[in-house]
Amino acid sequence: MILDKKLIEAFALGLEARAHTGGWDQPPMLVAFFHTKADGSLPEGIAAQPFRVQPARVDGSDPVGALLLIAAAADLPPVDYLPDVRDSLAGLAFVHEGWMPPEGHDSNDPRDFADVPGGVEARGAQVISCGGHFLMARRVRGKDPEVIDAAAMGGVTAGRIPAALRALLLRLGEGMPREMFDRDAVNKCVEWM
């Protein structure tokens, strides 16, 4: 069974809200999520397994480096790594914080976004599902979270983090049955970089 897109959206918002209770300046976290009974803070039908790395091992300015460190530290082989949930993997999420430039910022500006006047600090919970849905729950410091779904807005999801999540999910989904893992949809939901 592949999870409905509305459930994925609720999961992304729940995951960001859970991260928000810990405050700002948290280390990045990779989360695998599964079909199962919820624990109360996530939507019914989803449970999460976080994989964290020690903050000292992560350079906060490079979330992709952090994602790769987490994946390496977790040493995740194909989905057999958790035998009791072998057929219940539903997707992956990556929660991280960083800076965003202001609207209309010159993309050729070499400065770090934290040094750009008008830049804002934000936290994102980027989620990719086994059904090929990719979206993000993003909270700008001091504001409420919003869900960003590029495909629903007629755009394309691209970037280093979405590409790394897709690659890791494709690796984990090897050998999963088609009704549980739509490899074609996962391949198409993020633009190759």
For residue 113, being part of any structural domain is answered with: no
* Residues with Cβ within 8 Å of residue 30, at least 6 apart in sequence: 50, 51, 52, 67, 70, 71, 74, 92, 93, 94, 168
- DSSP state string for 42-69: S-TTEEEEEEE--GGG--TT-HHHHHHH
On whether residue 106 sits in a domain, the answer given is no
Q: Identify whether 73 is part of a domain.
A: yes
pLDDT, residue 173, reads 80
The count of structural domains within the chain is 1
Helix, strand or coil for residue 138? strand
| Position 42 in a domain | yes
Distances (CA, A) of 75 to 7, 161, 176: 28, 18, 19
Do 105 and 116 contact (CB within 8 A), yes or no?
Answer: yes
Look at residue 158 and tell me whether its pLDDT is greater than 80.
Answer: no
Top pLDDT among 156 and 108 is at: 108
6: pLDDT confidence band, cut at 50, 70 and 90? confident
What is the residue range of 35's domain? 5-100+118-188
- State the DSSP code for 82: S
For the whole model, what pTM was predicted? 0.77
The tokens describing 152, both together, are 């629903």
pLDDT (tens digit per residue) in 113-140: 778 888 889 999 999 988 888 889 999 9
Q: Does 76 reside within a domain?
A: yes
Tens-place pLDDT, residues 42-81: 556 666 666 654 444 445 456 556 566 555 555 554 444 4
Residue 107 lies in a domain: no
Least confident of 21-25, 72-76, 87-91: 72-76
Average pLDDT, the chain: 75
- 169 found inside a domain: yes
Q: Tell me if 112 is assigned to some domain.
A: no
